[in-house]
Amino acid sequence: MTESPRDPRVNGALTRYRIMAIITGTFLLAVFAGLFVKEVLHYDNPTFVTITSTIAMVHGWIYVIYLAATIQLWLLMHWGLGRLIVMALGGVVPFLSFVLEHRFAEEVRAAPAGTLEP
């Protein structure tokens, strides 16, 4: 059907997924750092609380975009449902998205030609 070894959409989807994984992961670390300072160190300055809850809200919407990018890549790669769940967890488990992003990027690049639907 096509001479291209892979669906050209995969490259774009992979780039979007990687960018969102890094942004989501970074925001997630900020959310957890804020939670730690607030709940463990009991620092409840109202301005600080407003800032942390705003970061949490922004993270929520970044996570939505991350999921959209994730689902697109997942569909193009025809991965299993288990992997989608792990990828979705990447937005809520600290550091996970960085690890996944790195691993899946390698995997997509190494994917043999023709395994992807035209």
Partner 1 sequence: MKASLAARIGVAAFALLALVVCGALGLWQWNRAHSKAISVAPEPTVPIAEALLPASGAGAAVGRQVSVEGTWTDAPAVLVTGRVVDGTEAVFLVRALTVDADLTGTGETATLPVIVGWRPAESPMGPDDGPARVSLTGYLRPPEEATTASGTEGEPIPDVVWSDTISPAELAQTWPGPLYSAVLSSYEGSPSWEPLPPPPPEEQLNLRSVLYALEWWVFGAFAVFVAVRWIRDNSRIAPTPEESQA
Residue 84 engages partner 1 in binding (rule: CB under 8 A): yes
What DSSP string runs through 63-102? HHHHHHHHHHHHHHHT--HHHHHHHHHTTTSTTHHHHHHH
Contact call for residues 108 and 10 (beta carbons, < 8 A): yes
Question: How far, CA to CA in Å, does 28 sit from each of 15, 51, 93?
Answer: 20, 14, 8
In 3D, which of 3, 2, 10 has the Cα closest to residue 77?
10
DSSP 36: I
Point out which span in 22-30, 33-41, 68-76, 95-103 binds partner 1 (CB under 8 A). 68-76
We find the least distance from the C-beta atom of residue 15 to partner 1, in angstroms, to be 21
Segment interacting with partner 1 (CB under 8 A) among 9-17, 28-36, 65-73, 101-109: 65-73
Cβ nearer to partner 1, comparing 92 with 102:
92
Residue among 1, 40, 41, 110 that touches partner 1 (CB under 8 A): 1
One-letter amino acid for residue 36 of the chain = F
Q: Does 33 interact with partner 1 (rule: CB under 8 A)?
A: no
Nearest approach in angstroms of CB 1 to partner 1 is 6
What's the min distance (Å) between Cβ of 114 and partner 1?
4
